[in-house]
Amino acid sequence: MNYIRTTFAFAVFVALSVALVAGCGSSNAPGDTPAAPAALLAVRYAPRTDLLAVTSPIGSPSRWPTAGFPPPRSARLFPNTPDRDLAKLLLDQRGKSILDPLNTEVLSPTQADRVARLVDAHFGSPLAPTVRLLDWDTVVASAVVRVDPEKPTLGATLKAAKQKLGSFKHALWKADWEAAVAAQAELKLDEATLARGSGLYRRWCMQCHGPSGAGDPAQAVEGGPTPRDYRQGVFKYVSAFAPPKLPKKGLGASNRASRADLVRTVRIGIEGTIMPAFPSLTDQEVEDVVSYVIHLSIRGETEFATLATIADVLKYTDDTPDYNGGELDWLFVQHEVWVLLNWGLAAKHPIPVPPEPFAGGDERLKSAVRGFKLYNSTEFACAGCHASYGRGLQLKWDAWGTVAQPRNLTLGVFRGGRKGEDLYARLYAGIGASGMTAFHDKVTGAAPGTPDKLWDLVHFLQALPDPADRKRMQALDPEVKLDP
């Protein structure tokens, strides 16, 4: 039944697309839904033109950038930037870890324009934000219908489409699409919620996170993080950890927040950064603004992944499509499905935090002493990044091409929370965006009854900033040395 319905819808769709392409020359992409009223379209999100950090840049930055000039921004201003040296380090990686959507050799103006129109059609505008996933029949049509610009006739298109329909992985895509639909509902992305969230965002968040969620670098303070750029779907202080062995679809399911993580960030802020707490928002307002942050993130990531795939010419093979017209539309639809699917996967995989083994007293300190030894062991090698317990300057590039400093662990300021379970989650899953290692493999499969190594490290992290605990650890074991 379903198949017949799909085939019928698909035939109608082919006829329509061909009529559109051959006939009135409409520039609407397949799958476009009716346009929003003109007044609402007056304000649109700006298409993305800044540099794309497809992986963390190679090497390490030698110093902090000047406030307001994170390296990707400096690279755009080069040579008129106070940080030419850092900009140069990024510019040298163009074409590899850094892609440039303004380089017309990798992304033509026609492609850039089509991506921008697809983004608008699927995600609306700041005043009418939406997340529009195509219905199943249109997904199939979008996957198989490609009007060949050389032979744009109905006959040629139907013939080619029939062939593609034969090799289309129907069951696989249906499962992905269903997972995406389910995630969309769980993430509370209905238009009424998003419209309320957008209003709150403009009032409370936009000055730092920017109208499209790009994170305004001008707001960053020296030595501090840039307000989060949501457009890669990457978050740092999360309680979700999709198993790394899952097949990677799109940009993958790692480093993704759950709704609860975002609610918590908005409620209590991020300690040690300029990200404020918002205690005065009502629960409903926090929920609404979180939906809107997820909207910006899904929108941004779909755009980012599409642009990055097209611009990553080094990965092209003989089979790579030309990413124009229908090929580009299908690329975009795939990424939208995967982005939603990955949010759903993350939500289904909370980090397993076992109950804290010792509430207090000597047992907790003995555990902290074991943690001290693990910290300095070759197995964990925490000091490789946090030398002298993080007191020194040892900078890293992060996933956005900006700069991160492995935390100074002697201060007791933890951005993702200082509670045992927060620190445990941080060690278990790492902080992928900033290159901090995930240590989950050190506890999975450990012999029953042996002390949980991550809890030992957590107890050490909690004891380290406390002068009294330090003395007590040293009294228990004179080998504990904590000063530089």
* Residue 416 binds ligand HEC, judged by CB under 6 A: yes
Binding test (CB under 6 A) with ligand HEC, winner from 214, 270, 328, 473:
270
CA neighbor of 395 nearest in space, from 267, 224, 217: 224
CA neighbor of 460 nearest in space, from 326, 386, 367, 392: 367
Number of residues located near ligand HEC, criterion CB under 6 A: 51
* Residue 376 binds ligand HEC, judged by CB under 6 A: no
Write the CA distances from 91 to 57, 85, 215, 399, 435, integer angstroms: 10, 10, 21, 16, 21
* Residue 465 binds ligand HEC, judged by CB under 6 A: no
CB of 431 to ligand HEC, least distance (A): 5
CB of 74 to ligand HEC, least distance (A): 18
Nearer to ligand HEC, 338 or 380 (CB): 380
Write the CA distances from 476 to 412, 470, 484, integer angstroms: 22, 10, 20
Residue that has been written with the tokens 């699409």 in this structure: 177
Q: Which of positions 131-170 make contact with ligand HEC (CB under 6 A)? A: none
Neighbours of 281 (CB within 10 A): 16
Q: Which of positions 218-247 make contact with ligand HEC (CB under 6 A)? A: 219, 225, 227-228, 235-238
CB 432 within 8 A of CB 234: yes
Nearer to ligand HEC, 64 or 278 (CB): 278
CB 399 within 8 A of CB 225: no
Q: Which of positions 284-303 make contact with ligand HEC (CB under 6 A)? A: 289, 293
Binding test (CB under 6 A) with ligand HEC, winner from 54, 262, 346, 464:
262
ω into 79 cis (within 30 of 0): yes
Nearer to ligand HEC, 50 or 261 (CB): 261
CB of 428 to ligand HEC, least distance (A): 10
Distance CA 406, CA 393 (A): 8
* Residue 428 binds ligand HEC, judged by CB under 6 A: no
Distance CA 167, CA 147 (A): 17
CB 209 within 8 A of CB 230: yes
CB of 280 to ligand HEC, least distance (A): 11
- Contact residues for ligand HEC (CB under 6 A)? 204-205, 207-209, 219, 225, 227-228, 235-238, 257, 262, 265-266, 270, 273-276, 278, 289, 293, 375, 380-382, 384-386, 396, 404, 406-407, 409, 414-416, 423, 426-427, 431, 434-437, 439, 457, 461
